[in-house]
Amino acid sequence: MAISSISSATAPNWLKEAQESIAASENPGGLMGMLKDARYPASIKNFLAKSQSTAANLALISQSTAQSQSTLTLQMADAAQQKRMQERVALLQKLNPQQSNFNPPTKLDPFIYFQDGSSIDTENNILTMSNGTQIDTTTGMQIIDHNSIISMANGAYLDTKNNILTMSDGTKIDTITGLKVTA
């Protein structure tokens, strides 16, 4: 029997270490265990049983190492993805800060009425004067209903709705009074 040191400077419990050392020397593995088993008649059987046990233990170690490696890889990938998402959120918050005193813009009323009788249709951008004349608020041009227009051969046209004759030179005449329209 081999003599093993009973105390160890690195071991917190020297008695436990001594007992484990004695137990290990009684049941040696590897080549020493094989040579010890050679004394018995069933030495091949013992050798194969120990080899099979050792192979199973090595396979178990290899399997648990692979599982641990896979688990660690998944944990690291998950942590990296969470970090990237947090960085994106932080960047978006930095680029688009939340406005704390923001009032959403109010929409205009669909119709705005004035004291002189005119009105603005804000949805269609039409100003209707008190005399019925309609003006496009985006272009400033007068809106003419094309169903009430009669075109003349010389380029003049008659607005039958408003009773205005517009000459080819742009002069406008009220067809009821015969007076020239200046406004």
Q: HEC string of the chain?
A: CCCCCCCCCCCCCHHHHHHHHHHHHHCCCHHHHHHHHCCCCCHHHHHHHHHHHHHHHHHHHHHHHHHHHHHHHHHHHHHHHHHHHHHHHHHHHHHCCCCCCCCCCCCCCCEEECCCCCEEECCCCEEECCCCCEEECCCCCEECCHHHEEECCCCCEEECCCCEEECCCCCEEECCCCCEECC
Same domain, yes or no: 166 and 123? no
Same domain, yes or no: 136 and 151? no
| Alpha carbon distance, N-terminus to C-terminus of the chain | 129
Same domain, yes or no: 31 and 77? yes
Residues of the chain with pLDDT under 70: 1-14, 23-43, 183
Same domain, yes or no: 78 and 150? no
Q: Beta strands 180-181 and 164-166: pairing type?
A: unpaired
Same domain, yes or no: 53 and 25? yes
pLDDT of amino acid 62: 82
pLDDT of amino acid 53: 79
pLDDT of amino acid 12: 62
pLDDT of amino acid 80: 94
Note down the domain range covering 179: 145-183
Structurally, the chain folds into a number of domains equal to 3
Same domain, yes or no: 88 and 132? no
Taking the whole predicted model, whether its pTM rises above 0.85 is answered as no
pLDDT of amino acid 113: 93
pLDDT of amino acid 1: 47
Measured between alpha carbons, how far is 63 from 69 in angstroms, rounded to an integer?
10
pLDDT of amino acid 128: 92
Q: Is 76 inside a domain boundary?
A: yes
Same domain, yes or no: 47 and 88? yes
The rounded radius of gyration (Å) of the Cα atoms in the chain is 51
Measured between alpha carbons, how far is 117 from 83 in angstroms, rounded to an integer?
64
pLDDT of amino acid 70: 87
